[in-house]
A and B are shown apart, each in its own frame.
Chain A
């Protein structure tokens, strides 16, 4: 069974904290993605990576960074969390030309 695992289901952080969201896939996929999902706005792409140590900005990269040191792991970093980053964060992976597989999401609340 294919699996994309996100490290936390719920997370509560304070404004200004550094936040790490971890994602691991077991399908040996080349491509990994981070999206945020907000009501009425759908899924918006933050960053994606098509290879180890490679990253590309998505539509809303401001305030975020990413790290991909190993093929199976893709981390999203909020350098200084702000209240407008309260959201559901979804990680996905896909092989080239294939469908995307998503994790269950991390609901992040920044107070």
Chain B
């Protein structure tokens, strides 16, 4: 119930294309869904986050789509660039205890 399932494990996208990473959760008590971006040798960095009262949030080329009834959320990267090549983690947390539970990550490679 505490898990966040992320897919795919790896993704290759052409420059200019749309990268899509999907996550699913079981625990309906989760109320905060962040995405993190990690480059080699660095810690994860908060990219964008959403709460379940909205269905979509957009920041620049990055968009989170959230489907509360399906318990799924996804990250869309529009006009993907080689600099977006990184590992992406979805995550979820509850107000009650503030733990952040992570998916296993998606290694994204954008072809130049």
Chain A residues with a Cβ under 8 A of chain B: 4, 31, 33, 35, 40-45, 48, 50, 56, 58-59, 90, 92, 94, 96-97, 99-105
Across the interface, name the chain B residue whose C-beta is closest to A43.
B102
Closest A residue to B98 by beta carbon equals: A31
Task: List residues of B whose CB falls within 8 A of some A CB.
Answer: 2, 6, 32, 34, 36, 41-46, 49, 89, 95, 97-105
**Closest residue of chain B to A91, judged by CB?**
B43
Give the Cβ gap from A73 to chain B, nearest Cβ, in Å.
17
Kindly list chain B residues whose C-beta atoms are within 8 Å of the C-beta of A100.
34, 36, 46, 100
Contact of B43 with A56 in the complex, beta carbons under 8 Å = no
Whether the Cβ atoms of A96 and B102 lie closer than 8 Å is: no
Residues of A within 8 A of B41 (CB): 104-105
Which residues of the other chain, B, contact A33 by a CB distance below 8 angstroms? 99-100
Q: Which residues of A contact B95 (CB under 8 A)?
A: 96-97
A92 to B34, CA, bound (A): 14
A39, closest chain B residue (CB): B105
Roughly how many angstroms separate A96 CA and B102 CA in the complex, as a whole number?
17
Give the nearest-CB partner of B31 in chain A. Answer: A97
**B98 and A105 contacting across the interface, CB-CB below 8 Å:** no
Residues of A within 8 A of B101 (CB): 45
CA distance A85 to B74 in the complex (A): 32
- Contact partner, A58, options B32, B43, B49, B99, Cβ 8 Å: B99
Docked-complex contact A42 and B105, CB < 8 angstroms: yes
For the complex, give the distance between the alpha carbons of A44 and B102 in Å: 7
Report chain B residues within 8 Å CB of A58: 99
